[in-house]
Structure 1
Amino acid sequence: MAETKTKPTDVSVDAFLEAVAHPGRRADGHGLRSMMERVTGEPAVMWGPSIVGFGFSHYRYASGHEGDMCRVGYSPRSANLVLYTGGFPEYDALLSKLGKHKRSKACLYINRLADVDLSVLEEIIRRTYEATPDVSDGPVC
């Protein structure tokens, strides 16, 4: 089985965010980092080459596939901000109040932080963090 590329690294989060080419996406990346650090109480850590993550969790699917991932995270991609927030059905009411966004099973896509209600986004981040199992003995970078 192939080894996952999405694992904590010792790459500087500051350096990664400063290298984001689009100035608006870079600013939003810094804003999300501050928000997520405040909401989770966790420091930002790079997961793989492009995910800024907070906390550590181990998952195992019914298929037997398992791995490690941050409890919450995001990536300031060229097309939009991708937030890894889980696919919890109880978010439907919150998402209806969030503002302009798209979603997939486990991701939330936002063009700009200015397009959404930041208090609703904080609540989604808080609920995701609390609902994702904590593994306190995860790897230390």
Structure 2
Amino acid sequence: MAKNKTTETEINVTDFINSYVDNDLKKADSFKLIELMQSWTGFEPKMWGPTIIGFGSYHYKYASGHEGDAPMLGFSPRKAEFSLYVYSPVAGSEQLLDSLGKFKMGKACIYVKKLSDINIDVLEKICKITIAYLNEHHECAACRQ
């Protein structure tokens, strides 16, 4: 079985943002996302793989036997846009997307160019639904609402 490439690392989150993000607005938005996600999860930010900033963790196991750990919430400040790893397709979350603002939906993430494009209160609701879903459906030694 292949080893999961996206695992928690010891890279300093602030150092990563300061060296990786070259746009001042994106840098400010990155620190704001850290503040928000830390508040919503109660967890310190940690680097996952080379470019994902995650909060908390949960253990998943698929029917195929593949298993691993992933952050409860996370984001990556990519060059073109942010990848927000915050969405679980559960009851109630789809309607929230309608009022989130300007974004694109990926397979496993929400793409946002800048935080001012979205409604932060709606993002918080989406994140809290995801946290509740993960607590209910996965091993979350480090999960809490």
Q: Say whether the fold is shared (TM-score over 0.5).
A: yes
Per the alignment, residue 28 of structure 1 pairs with 29
Pairwise CA distance, 1:86: 3.4
Per the alignment, residue 74 of structure 1 pairs with 75
Aligned pair partner of 1:127 in 107, 126, 129: 129
One-letter amino acid of the structure 2 residue matched with residue 14 of structure 1: T
Distance 2:85 2:107 in 1: 10
Instruction: Calculate percent identity across the aligned residue pairs.
Output: 41
Distance 1:62 1:35, change over 3 A: same
Pairwise CA distance, 1:124: 1.0
Structure 1 segments (4+ residues) deviating >3 Å = none
Distance 1:137 1:71, change over 3 A: closer
Local SS of the residue matching 1:37: helix
Give structure 1 stretches of 5+ with no counterpart. Answer: none
Distance 2:90 2:60 in 1: 19
Pairwise CA distance, 1:22: 1.6
Q: Alpha carbon RMSD of aligned pairs, Å?
A: 1.6
Contact persistence 2:60–2:139 (CA under 8 A) = no
Contact persistence 2:88–2:130 (CA under 8 A) = no
Pairwise CA distance, 1:137: 6.4
One-letter amino acid of the structure 2 residue matched with residue 111 of structure 1: K
Distance 1:137 1:76 in 2: 24
- Output aligned runs, 1:13-52, within 5 Å: 13-19=13-19, 20-52=21-53
Local SS of the residue matching 1:98: coil
Pairwise CA distance, 1:4: 1.8
Pairwise CA distance, 1:60: 0.9
Local SS of the residue matching 1:126: helix
Contact persistence 2:44–2:55 (CA under 8 A) = yes
Distance 2:51 2:79 in 1: 11
